[in-house]
Amino acid sequence: MKWMAALACVLVTSMCLAQAAQSFRPASTNVWGAQYPRIDDAGRVQVRVKAPEADSVRLNFWSGPKLQMQKQPDGFWTVTTEPLVPGFHYYTLVIDGAEVADPGSQAFFGGSRHASGVEIPEPGTTFYSVQDVPHGQVREVWYHSQVTATWRHALVYLPPGYDSQNERRYPVLYLQHGGGEDETGWIRQGRANFILDNLIAARQAEPMIVVMAYGYALRAGESLPEPAPFGSPQMWQAMQHMTSTFEDDVTQALIPFIDKTFRTLTDRDNRAMAGLSLGGMQTFHITLRHLDLFSHIGGFSGAGGVLGDSAGKFDPKTDYEGAFADAAGFAKKVHVFWIGVGTAEPERFHARIGGLHKNLDAAGIEHIYVESQGTDHEWQTWRRALHDFAPRLFRTRKTRS
């Protein structure tokens, strides 16, 4: 009990000074009552897990340190990391070869599993914090897709005031998760609702609806391939294979459902799509083949298949059925064409996104390229991307369809 610790402090001052100096506190991403993982102001993370009969326990930050944990006499294993950069970091524990989630953490869907995560605050940064401003609502919807012949789950952010302004119609951003994640990622890990709440309250973004769909789709009757380990070539192959099915689901089932269910503006000028990593690839695939439906495009650490290939294979005349062939026409149609990457991401993402940027420049294709300083292929990069992208949407109306 806290008061017992306080009592102990009165008795043993030195202990308390040592505690204060370290000042570790439970992470905001912990489950109710869990004291670990703990973080300090420098961004160090202390992890602790009970595994009395284990021979080896490792801490595995997916984009960070991989550390052997130390066994304590009480059967708990502990370790403290070096300072981590701010943001949300996925991690797992490897207990005698079994890769599992930490019971002390909330569960976040990534890597095709419910993994653990820890949030390191960024000092002075509040754009993704819950603040005392009007809040939109995140709604869960189920829609029946004739493409997949299944009920599909999506999350929909409705901006503040949606319920009280009964006549108003809103533009729509379709916002996709990455490979191995699902439709909950942009809310749970990305805090997209708070990012939009804060931008809208500051009048920096138009009130908009944000639709977060489940990015995997198999056609009616099609079977799921045998399991492919996360990150394996087979997995990426399966996910790419599903992109054309997802394209049909979005254009034939999801968009009609959203436009029927919510007070949307249904013309192309008022419809955007963006995604991170795999979701960026899907965004390019879907929007560039359906410029009759979309006028704003965002690729966050991810872009089209052949696009951005560092080998320089990009051919603006033929790729994507010639969507880029007419640079002036493209600029007229596409009001925002945004790509970005974190400076600390692995080289292949730089090569791909930075290469795409150069290729687009060389071909005279109007676009916005933004680098996120010091962030990896992680959610802090994508929170910043959304925070930069959303204010640009639905502001100018170069064309009317």
Contact positions toward its own copies, by CB under 8 A?
Answer: 1-2, 4-5, 31-35, 49-57, 75, 93, 95-101, 103-107, 109, 112-114, 130, 132, 135, 137-142, 144, 151, 163, 166, 182, 187, 193, 216, 223-228, 238, 261-262
Q: How many helices (H) and strands (E) does the chain have?
A: 13, 19
Non-local (6+) Cβ contacts of 244 within 8 A are 285
Nearer to its own copies, 62 or 294 (CB): 62
Smallest gap from residue 372 Cβ to its own copies (A): 27
The alpha carbons of the chain give a radius of gyration, in whole angstroms, of 23
Report residue 136: phi and psi, to 5°: -75, 180
Contact 298, 321 (CB under 8 A): no
Nearer to its own copies, 194 or 330 (CB): 194
Identify the burial level of 127 via C-beta atoms within 10 angstroms of its C-beta, where 0-12 means exposed, 13-18 middle and 19 or more buried: middle
Q: How far, in Å, CA of 311 to CA of 99, rounded? A: 36
Smallest gap from residue 109 Cβ to its own copies (A): 7
Nearer to its own copies, 56 or 68 (CB): 56
In three-state secondary structure terms, 284 is: helix
Smallest gap from residue 141 Cβ to its own copies (A): 6
Q: How far, in Å, CA of 169 to CA of 172, rounded? A: 10
Nearer to its own copies, 162 or 349 (CB): 162
Smallest gap from residue 81 Cβ to its own copies (A): 20
Nearer to its own copies, 55 or 347 (CB): 55
Nearer to its own copies, 165 or 396 (CB): 165
Six-digit token string for 43? 């961004």
Q: How far, in Å, CA of 154 to CA of 299, rounded? A: 20
Smallest gap from residue 136 Cβ to its own copies (A): 10
Smallest gap from residue 317 Cβ to its own copies (A): 37
Q: How far, in Å, CA of 256 to CA of 143, rounded? A: 10
Contact 269, 335 (CB under 8 A): yes
